[in-house]
Amino acid sequence: MALAGPSSALLSSSSSACLRRLNPLLLSAACRRPPGGQRRAARRFCAAIASEADVFASPEVAKSFDFTNEERIYKWWESQGFFKPNFDRGGDPFVIPMPPPNVTGSLHMGHAMFVTLEDIMVRYFRMKGRPALWIPGTDHAGIATQLVVEKMLAAEGVKRTDLTREEFTKKVWEWKEKYGGTITNQIRRLGASCDWSRERFTLDEQLSRAVIEAFIRLHDKGLIYQGSYLVNWSPNLQTAVSDLEVEYSEEPGNLYFIKYRVAGGTRDDFMTIATTRPETLFGDVAIAVNPEDKRYAQYVGRLAIVPLTCGRHVPIIADRYVDPDFGTGVLKISPGHDHNDYHIARKLGLPILNVMNKDGTLNDVAGLYSGMDRFEAREKLWSDLVETNLAVKKEPYTLRVPRSQRGGEVIEPLVSKQWFVTMEPLAEKALRAVENGQLTILPERFEKIYNHWLTNIKDWCISRQLWWGHRIPVWYIVGKKCEEDYIVARTEEEALTKAQEKYGKSVEIYQDPDVLDTWFSSALWPFSTLGWPDLSKDDYKHFYPSTVLETGHDILFFWVARMVMMGIEFTGSVPFSYVYLHGLIRDSEQHLICPDDRDVTNRVDHCESVIWSEVYRLLIWDAKLQAAFQGRKMSKTLGNVIDPLDTIKDYGTDALRFTLSLGTAGQDLNLSTERLTSNKAFTNKLWNAGKFLLQNLPDRSDVSAWDALLANKFDTEASLQELPLPECWVVTGLHGLIDRVSTSYEKFFFGDAAREIYDFFWGDFADWYIEASKTRLYHSADKLAAARAQSVLLYVFENILKLLHPFMPFVTEELWQAFPYRKQALMVTPWPTTDLPKDSRSIKRFQNLQSLIRGIRNVRAEYTVEPAKRISASVVATADVLEYVSKEKQVLALLSKLDVQNVHFAESAPGDANQSVHIVADEGLEAYLPFADMVDVSEEVKRLSKRLSKMQSEYDALVARLNSQSFVEKAPEEIVQGVREKASEAEEKIALTMNRLAFLQSTVST
């Protein structure tokens, strides 16, 4: 789209209404009365685009970028279709599937992190000319959404069970339509340039069709089966839950020591077991000891009597799993209620006893304790054990308690009939994808974790006892046992037809009541969103496989690995070429930033997961990464939650994005208000630089001048060598920056790219070149020099805006639109060209000049020279150095605050060198600054003498304390050490002051 120039109305100085709509950069007081006394015409760069004036409108005067403009800019981008992939410039598509946040979610810093990083990628590759597609969407979040709606109904006095399944599901859909867009609207506030016309929801018709198709294909291959196995059971939710939905917390509890009598032995012949869950003893099927433990060797092969079970006997066995150093070294095996016991029982062929009902009460196996709540039964059981003299002791013990992520209740390991996916054959292909280079995981160290999980993979429980979600496409025959016969079909009609073919027309069927684990549909996300299983869909043909999958490292195996497995299984291709894993976000004290429990509804970006303790403890992994998981979870109770929407309001989206981008892949990021404040200042610095340029570039009406400015590309050696030293230096620096930043973008080193741009803009461009350019703009009659400086200012600044745009899209677009004759929006402007010419000699030469200027500045500060005072200087160097330094006399004088009329250049030291401060820079470049210009030497000698006396007294007092044996022996070590450090610092300052005083006294005597 061509962006028009200003209308005549906008150019009219008498039209105050139009002027108020202009970009604030154009109408500041400084703009109307530039520095140096140069007045500009009131009619200036009317940056507001005539056809889009309302988009980039601002108050007449603005000291900083107005954050409220962000939403208008975003809507304008979207209305222009900039978020859609554009094939006009050719190139391979760049595709990212967005990790779908829960439909119940509300924006937190986990979302802000992934949106920032993914948008950086998309904006960069879009500017590089690749058709860029970022696919947005949300997850139906089975448990989380069902809980939200159940709570809503409960507030109305309605229970879920008061409704039919269809009625409840309708209520959930109504809730989703009303509130489900909250999270996506908040994601827009972060500047996410995803293609909203392709937004998906995991329960959309197309995605639901993909889920059913995937289930059927896996079942037809024999990879899906039904069976009774130990799962994580939520008694309150009445469903199995995934490992990720279980959080472990350390809580105070007890270790119970109980006597198990040995069958056939005397009353004193017993073994003592230690357990944290005595209520599960009714499910004991064996007593185990370590085969190397000689204390119990005599009992192996005999039988033990389970207490309070009317004499039920269980075998005493030996197994190396048993830790002889834990408790008494005797382990009760209750496979129906402990994951480790379950695996031992399966290995040894032991029976499995379930003593728990699905509501958390004990069942008939518990005899007299049947119907009691599990925790109530624990207390009652211990009381009875004490009464029967079978209790040995009870000790305080810190428990690792599994709790539901959603409801907070204690999870119960429970044997339940569920649907499972056989994972081993799928995992083998996913392992090979990394081994043969089809898939690259960044950072590379996470490959170890990926490989470990897939190598030790267990079958996946995919069924959930919920009403909200993808219903399992299995139908049973009325009157027949579920295990005997069932039908897998895409629809109920298809299932009925199959049943009638086998059992006759009168057959009746009913569907499995369970739904699929939300992770099942999420595992299909990269290709189901593009039309799979319909391989003829244009989106599938153009955009699959994706390029990058970006997400948090905490779900590498729960989501990423499953997508890889399913992608290979169903499409024959790895679903993406790269996996980029970001770290978690912590505050300045290393605490995890995450909402409190009632706000944690996002499955994809949740801050903590059981997998770290269960998997990482098995690995030898990076010490820094390990240390990163030591912090406490952030909560509103602690008062350390940083809300992204509040942050945007206070600091702006760009400052937040830039702060989040400064991290390193896979490493946790410390986020603080100090960092946000610093990067808000960076936004303002950028804004002020744009303001300076607009004040010092030609009038907009001067078309020929602007044509000349825009024509300068500095893309040849000749064009570079024609430039004076500061201009050649900054352009060379820019060209090097473009190369380095482009490489960092390509390698996903976003933190490196951000820091490079920050340092170059703030240091080289703003602090050095803009200041140097003032000598051309304000202190020189050379129009050619001024024009060259204007060209360089515009060229460098516009390229900085391009490089910075993926990080800070709003302020860079606003600034871009402030300059005249823009033909397209910044976000679709081509990326700067790499490998442009560079003059390494100019880098070295200007660095020498900088070194000299810094030296002069340091001396001025050391002698507290008034800022407004201009001093003289003698610059000494070899002839070849003086040749280029002397040409920049104005720059040297302006940046060092020298009297330009009294700056002299020579190849030898001046005659009064002994009465001057001597500065040595690089390449033999020196300067002599006369004392008389800077200070009254006699007064300075008096001042330093007085200061030295005071410093000596303070030092003597510190030494006296250290010489006091009483102080050294009785004071805390940190206090003593602090005094030692102060004494050392004082000694150094005294030495420096004495040297300076001696030097000044010598000049007086001379």
CA dist 652 and 189 (Å) reads: 10
Does one domain contain both 252 and 391?
yes
The answer to whether residues 944 and 863 touch, using CB atoms and an 8 Å cutoff, is no
Weakest-pLDDT range from 345-359, 513-527, 848-862, 985-999: 985-999
Q: What whole-number distance in Å separates Cα of residue 986 and Cα of residue 91?
A: 65
Tokens matching residue 470: 């993808």
Tell me the CATH number at 986.
Answer: 1.10.287
Same domain, 363 and 498: no
pLDDT at 49 over 50: no
Region 561-579: what's the mean pLDDT? 98
Residue 349 confidence (pLDDT): 92
CA distances from 948 to 108, 934, 981, 987 (A): 56, 21, 19, 11
Confidence of residue 927 (pLDDT cuts 50, 70, 90): very high
Half-sphere exposure of 398 (CA within 13 A, CB side): 3
* pLDDT band (50, 70, 90) for residue 743: very high
Domain annotation covers residue 923: yes
Burial, 375: exposed, middle or buried (Cβ in 10 Å; 0-12, 13-18, 19+)? exposed
Confidence of residue 1004 (pLDDT cuts 50, 70, 90): low
Reported as a single tens digit per residue, the pLDDT across 70-88 is 999 999 999 999 999 999 8
Report the DSSP pairing between strands 224-234 and 412-421: antiparallel
Domain range for 875 is 843-935
826 touches 816 (CB < 8 A): yes
- Dig out the tokens for 279 from the structure: 């209520």
Please indicate, yes or no, whether residues 381 and 492 belong to a single structural domain of this protein: no
- Tell me the average pLDDT of the chain: 86
**Is residue 426 situated within a structural domain?**
no
Whole-angstrom distance, CA of residue 135 vs CA of residue 100: 9
pLDDT reported for residue 554: 87
- In contact, 289 and 299? CB cutoff 8 Å: yes
Shared-domain flag, residues 401 and 253: yes
Least confident stretch, 46-55, 225-234, 579-588, 915-924:
46-55
State the Cα–Cα distance between residues 550 and 115, nearest whole angstrom.
Answer: 9
More confident residue, 810 or 22: 810
**Which CATH number does the domain housing residue 274 bear?**
3.90.740.10
Check residue 58 and give its pLDDT. Answer: 36
Q: 253 and 401 share a domain?
A: yes
CA 378, CA 254: separation in Å to the nearest integer?
11
Q: Are residues 312 and 363 in the same domain?
A: yes
Quick one: which of 757, 567, 780, 669 has its CA closest to 116? 669
The residue with greater pLDDT, 839 or 1002, is 839
Any idea which of 60-74, 701-715, 858-872 has the lowest mean pLDDT? 60-74
Residues 996 and 868 in one domain: no
Residue 60 has pLDDT above 50, yes or no: no
Do 909 and 977 belong to one domain?
Answer: no
Mean pLDDT of 553-561: 92
- Report helix, strand and coil shares of the chain as percent, to nearest 5: 50, 15, 35
* Residue 252 in this model has a pLDDT that exceeds 80: yes
Bigger pLDDT: 623 vs 587: 587
Q: According to the model, what pLDDT value does residue 483 have?
A: 67
pLDDT in tens, 955-983: 999 999 999 998 988 899 999 999 999 99
Q: Domain for residue 412, yes or no?
A: no
What is the reported pLDDT for 631? 39
Residues 856 and 1000 in one domain: no
Write out the E strands in 91-214: 94-97, 132-135, 137-138, 200-201
- Residue 922 in any domain: the answer is yes
pLDDT of residue 662: 92
Name residue 505's amino acid: K
338 plus 351 within the same structural domain:
yes
Q: Tell me which amino acid residue 569 is.
A: E
> Residue 364 domain-assigned?
yes
The helix or strand, by DSSP H or E, that contains position 787, with its residue range, turns out to be helix 783-804
Task: Give the C-alpha separation, 571 to 694, whole Å.
Answer: 54
Q: Is position 790 within any domain?
A: no
pLDDT confidence tier of residue 549, bands split at 50, 70 and 90? very high
Which pair of structure tokens corresponds to residue 538?
């244009």
* pLDDT-based confidence at residue 679 (cuts at 50, 70, 90): very high
Question: β-pairing, 486-488 with 576-582?
Answer: unpaired
- Of 293-302, 707-716, 938-947, minimum mean pLDDT range: 938-947
Cβ contact 230:415 at 8 Å = yes
Judge contact between 668 and 593, C-beta under 8 A: no
Are 316 and 293 a contacting pair, CB within 8 Å? no
Count how many domains the chain has: 4
What lies within 8 Å, CB to CB, of 210 at 6+ separation is 521, 524, 527, 528, 532, 533
Q: Is residue 361 part of a domain?
A: yes
The residues, ordered by sequence, that sit 6+ positions from 684 with a Cβ below 8 Å of its Cβ are 63, 64, 65
| Residue where the block lists tokens 């009464």 | 387
Asked if residue 619 has pLDDT above 60, the reply is no
Same domain, 991 and 928: no
Which pLDDT score, from 0 to 100, does residue 924 have?
Answer: 84
Cα(177)–Cα(713) distance, integer angstroms? 52
Axis-axis angle for helices 653-661, 750-759 (nearest 10): 120
Same domain, 942 and 872: no
Could you identify the residue written with the tokens 């490959």? 447
Residue 224 placed within a domain:
no
